[in-house]
Structure 1
Amino acid sequence: MNENQAGRVVILGTGGTIAGRATQANDNVGYVAGQVTVGDLVAMVPALATCALDVEQVAQINSKDMVLGVWQSLVRRVAAHLDRPEVAGIVITHGTDTIEETAFLLQSLLMPAKPVVLTCAMRPATALVPDGPQNLSDAVAVALHPHACGVVVVCAGRIHGAMDVSKVHPYRMDPFDSGDAGALGCVEEAQLRMFRPWPPSVSQTTHDAVRMQRLQGAAAWPRVELVFSHAGADGEVVRALLEQASARAGPLRGIVVAGTGNGTVHEDLLVALKEAQARGVHVVVASRCGQGRIVPHAGQPLPDSAGLSPVKARLALALQLLEA
């Protein structure tokens, strides 16, 4: 055991398909997410009966509806439990739709020396053969691993790093991929087989207090919008965004454009994005391709996302603007 491993795991529930209910056991898509409590989910996994667990319901939502307030509550509770010396690691039950964004946010803010393991399901708890119980059992095994650290996503026996993971399939039980980097490892009968190092962590503290205070004090995210470059993109969406201030988030502060190929952008859309830059809006380009990253070059007209997917690049820019 290392100094952070004391054998106790905190399980935080936020809802999602893993906590979903359908009216029929053979219905894997017509369910309502976020219906089963995290305590009941834990009770469905006999292997966890002998584990030292603390169970807490932080939220009960469909993760497609994730909002800043839920993230603030989750980050606050994760940080509080990480500071407890008896806690070995944290498991978070979460919906698959935005789990990659939550994982990215937690890793960016906390870089924890203890493991923070997000897990999920593609079938509701009422399914004939639900996948949630095995995923939850695997996640606890990862949280108890003596060398585990950082934020990871565990699903279908695979361990994905927070910075690389993305959802690539809408139905199959193994819906995640880590692109060129590949999975960090896998869980086999509660034993871990690692392929790559754990995510970077900070050994002395569990979080940056200043960044945490800024997040917790925010009434809304800085307004960062996501647009796509595509055939026929004329830039009018960007111009409309520039002219319309949001009552909640205020004026447009940033744009992430999902570019084609190596971050290329339709020439008409690029004109509009340059107009946005001239008005003080931060613009970042990511690639809409599912694999690889933008390879920088001298003629690149916009700053790139340093390998982040469009949705993660949007969060990264919002965090940057929040701290400005």
Structure 2
Amino acid sequence: MAARKIVVLGTGGTIAGRAASAADNVGYQAAQLGVAELLQGVTGLAGLQVEAEQVAQVDSKDMDFAIWAALAQHCAHWLAQEEVAGVVVTHGTDTMEETAFFLQSVLAPAKPVVLTGAMRPATSALADGPQNLADALAVAAAPGAQGVSVVFAGAVHGAHDVAKLHNYRLDAFGSGDAGPLAYIEEGRLRQLRAWPAGTPQRGVANLRPPADWPRVEIVMNHAGATGAMVRALVADGARGLVVAGTGNGTLHHALEQALLEAQQAGVAVRRTTRCAQGQVIATANDRLPAVEVSAVKARIGLILALMH
């Protein structure tokens, strides 16, 4: 049987980071090693034909629209090749959930696109990147796998639900109430839920040049919230606003009034919750539309909606 071809796209991140000491897991510089170098430390590649391509080299806190657009285009190109079984993307953890949600939104691929990274740099004495990358390759090569997922610390999380929940632990990602899609155990996949599916919201071909993407900002409800930030963002040209409300998307009356004024003026407003788990349950009295994803993902969805 012919080897299954997996394409690994590098974008930088901690998995490609270097520190001066093997004992230093926090004082490193991200995005120093190329993706081909990362693959040299990975075992379990037997039976796979792996091709590597560097799309970007960035600390993911600095991820931007231009890289997202390029990454989506590269993914679409490789997924269209009949011999390619799946794509793996090495990525920094800080914005991994956003990139995963973006790619699922524009690609909704029938083949797997698997994001992975590391919490410790490549120079760490106990680096977690090689195992995460090996697990991601296993998922990308798994028969029947599809959609965009994040593989981390032996778990597979769907793009819709995944979130970074811890700033330091190796198992930094979770899927909230939904739970993971699967686990990888000694290179074998134990599936728990169905793979992400659906049709692309917009498609790669319909993405505007990144400089033309509509500006959407995030605000948060909190004790003593006012409408000052909302009015400033509207005056500064924001076309959309996502508000992370307290509890079930509740809002301080002053903040809500400013958001209602913005909505009346033609600014698109979406409401979600700042809670780490759960989603806003809409009621008949809602004056601001609620969404079921986190604020950062709601922002991506609104950007794509306003783009067209």
Common fold: TM-score over 0.5: yes
Provide the aligned C-alpha RMSD in A.
1.5
Secondary structure of the 1:272 match is helix
1:31 to 23, 28, 32: 28
Q: Distance in 2 between matches of 1:218 and 1:33?
A: 24
Residues 94-120 of structure 1 deviation map (CA, whole Å, 9 limit, x = unaligned): 000000000001101111110000001
* SS of residue paired to 1:297: coil
1:196-215 matches, cutoff 5 A:
196-201=193-198, 211-215=203-207
Are residue 263 (structure 1) and residue 249 (structure 2) matched? yes
User: SS where residue 159 of structure 1 aligns?
Assistant: strand
- Partner residue of 2:4? 7
Shift of 1:48: 2.4
1:264 partner letter:
T
- Which residue in the other structure is 1:312 paired with? 297
Task: Find the partner of 1:56 among 45, 53, 56.
Answer: 53
Q: Aligned pair in 2 of structure 1 residues 142, 218: CA closer, same or farther (>3 Å)?
A: same
Partner residue of 2:281? 295
| Residue identity opposite 1:162 in structure 2 | A
User: TM-score, normalized by length of structure 1?
Assistant: 0.92
TM-superposed CA distance for 1:51, in Å, is 2.4
Q: CA deviation at 1:215?
A: 1.5
Q: Is the 8 A contact 1:68 1:220 kept in 2?
A: no
Alpha-carbon displacement from aligned partner over 1:145-202 (angstroms, at most 9, x marks no partner): 1010100000000000000000010000000110110000100000011111111155
Does residue 166 of structure 2 align to residue 169 of structure 1?
A: yes
TM-score by length of 2: 0.97
**Closer/same/farther in 2, CA of residues 276 and 216 from structure 1, 3 Å limit:** closer
Cα deviation code 1:56-86 (max 9, x no counterpart): 0000000010011111110110000000000
Confirm whether residue 242 of structure 1 aligns to residue 234 of structure 2.
yes
Give unpaired runs (5+ residues) of structure 1. Answer: 245-250
Pairwise CA distance, 1:212: 1.8
Given the alignment, which residue of 147, 152, 155 partners 2:149? 152
Contact 2:3-2:49 within 8 A present in 1 as well: no
Task: Look up the SS of the partner of 1:10 in the other structure.
Answer: strand
| CA displacement, residues 206-239 of structure 1 (integer Å, 9 cap, x when unaligned) | x67x632332534232010100000000110111
Q: CA offset at residue 16 of structure 1?
A: 0.3
Conservation of the 8 A alpha-carbon contact between 1:149 and 1:201: no
Q: For the Cα contact (< 8 Å) 1:142–1:148, is it kept in 2?
A: yes
Deviations 1:243-299 (A, max 9, x none): 22xxxxxx2100000000000010000111111112110111010000111111112
- Conservation of the 8 A alpha-carbon contact between 1:42 and 1:48: no
CA distance in 2, matches of 1:258, 1:99: 19
SS of equivalent residue, structure 2 residue 151: strand
Q: Per the alignment, in what secondary structure is the counterpart of residue 47 of structure 1?
A: coil
| CA apart distance, 1:6 | 6.7
What stretches of structure 2 of length at least 5 have no aligned partner? none
Contact 1:15/1:33 (8 A) holds in 2? yes
How many residues align? The count is 308
In structure 1, the partner of 2:178 is: 181
- Asked if residue 232 in structure 1 is aligned to residue 232 in structure 2, the reply is no
Q: List structure 1 segments (4+ residues) > 4 angstroms apart after TM superposition.
A: none
